[in-house]
Structure 1
């Protein structure tokens, strides 16, 4: 992003007489583009556990009666609730099996 040195507005790309240039939308300033300018930033993805609080998020949570969809033998699971959508939506309940450690959320 480039900004106008006079009025500090963001310069927009437009077609000029000398080829493409960046123009200020409020004042007559123009900056002629002489070469392509590009920049890439590669972000590192976080693991899902890091986003959801990591292993310590399950340290002191309650248990409830819930059937594990993976092992189907255990009928107890840890649970916790998070507000992951807007405030007018209900909270989402996350479960973790007591036996196998499989995690799922309530649909």
Structure 2
């Protein structure tokens, strides 16, 4: 994207009679003499665990519930109020199987 140096609006491309950048609001025009490309690679942000990461699961209890991924019989759980106070709490589970560690929620 290029912007007009006079009024700072986005320049558009006109294909008739050779390629030209032009401004819709002022008479500025710029003839394109060669191919104009630029590329910028963006850095991805690290995703934070909404539940607090591994530290949030350190002192939680486990219960008998079947993991939907590996069908292990036990999972850690914690209850968190994520909606308004008149809604029930959501239960988050994490599989006790060290090879699975699948997380899911109920409610």
- Does the pair score TM above 0.5? yes
- Change in 2 beyond 3 A, CA 1:43/1:3: closer
Structure 2's unaligned 5+ residue stretches are 83-89
**Other-structure match for 2:76:** 77
TM-score (norm 2): 0.60
TM-score (norm 1): 0.60
Task: Give the superposed CA RMSD.
Answer: 3.5
Q: Is the 8 A contact 1:95 1:105 kept in 2?
A: yes
Aligned residues: 97
Structure 1's unaligned 5+ residue stretches are 84-91
Quick check: which has more Rg, 1 or 2?
Answer: 2
The question of 1:52 aligning with 2:49 is answered yes
Map 1:1-107 to 2 at 5 A.
1-17=1-17, 19-43=18-42, 50-52=47-49, 54-59=53-58, 63=62, 65-79=64-78, 94-100=92-98, 101-106=100-105
